[in-house]
Chain A
Amino acid sequence: SQTIHQWPATLVQPVGSPLSLECTVEGTSNPNLYWYRQAAGRGLQLLFYSVGIGQISSEVPQNLSASRPQDRQFILSSKKLLLSDSGFYLCAWSVSWNEQFFGPGTRLTVL
């Protein structure tokens, strides 16, 4: 069966510090991978998606970036965090049009 991991689970970082969130998927090959941010009252915001190694599409221009160094690994990064980057970050995977499966999420607080 497929599983998706995200770490860390929670993170508190100062403004201006770097960020690296990691997501890995097990039990499937060549999945589509997604990064979402969920802020209170704003729903799920798609940040990046990837259809293959090294292929990244950005949905929202911002100070975040994503990389996919391996088939089942997706990384979300920032060189300098802003207060507005606080939120709940979710990684998801899919292989079909009808379902995306989400990870447990990382709660990021920028102080």
Chain B
Amino acid sequence: QKEVEQDPGPLSVPEGAIVSLNCTYSNSAFQYFMWYRQYSRKGPELLMYTYSSGNKEDGRFTAQVDKSSKYISLFIRDSQPSDSATYLCAMSAGHSGAGSYQLTFGKGTKLSVIP
């Protein structure tokens, strides 16, 4: 079983739709959760991060973590064509013995928002 599973899509939605992106994970030590947005041929940019379980909202974006189910979600409200990108989830157990901070990434979900 892979540590992080993410549906690769592609996911195509009409403009204005609510988008739900999800990841599941198997490592119960993960406690920091992130979502990155990556436009075509660009580096990923950090979109949201949350610690432990709960919700975090930033504008049209809401990140949700359910540690009991080992499931995280990113919701995009009123989706726009500019939201068309690949979304990667990432997670971390925190400080490692080596002193570095390593993330485990999902493979990404490609989202297209159609005008």
Chain A residues proximal to chain B, CB less than 8 Å: 32, 41-44, 46, 49, 51, 57, 88, 90, 92, 94, 96-105, 107
Contact = CB atoms under 8 A, between A and B. Distances in A.
Contact of A41 (B94, B98, B100, B107): B107
Contacts of B44: 44, 90, 102
Contact of A51 (B36, B41, B98): B98
Interface of B: 8, 32, 34, 36, 41-46, 49, 51, 88, 90, 92, 94-95, 98-103, 105-108
Contact of B92 (A46, A90, A97, A101): A97
Residue of B36, B99, B102 with most chain A CB atoms under a 10 A cut-off? B102
B88 A99 contact: no
A100 B88 CA distance: 13
A39 to B, nearest CB: 10
A102 B36 CA distance: 10
Contacts of A100: 46, 90, 101, 103
8 contacts: A44-B88, A92-B43, A96-B101, A97-B92, A100-B103, A101-B46, A105-B43, A107-B41
B42 A104 contact: yes
A46 B46 contact: no
Contacts of A97: 32, 92, 94-95, 101
Contacts of B43: 90, 92, 102-105
Given A98-B32, A102-B44, 10 more contacts: A32-B101, A43-B88, A43-B108, A49-B102, A57-B98, A90-B44, A98-B51, A100-B90, A100-B103, A102-B36
Contacts of A57: 98, 100
Contact of B99 (A51, A88, A90, A107): A51
Contacts of A46: 102
B102 A98 contact: no
A52 to B, nearest CB: 9
Contacts of A107: 41
A51 B100 CA distance: 6
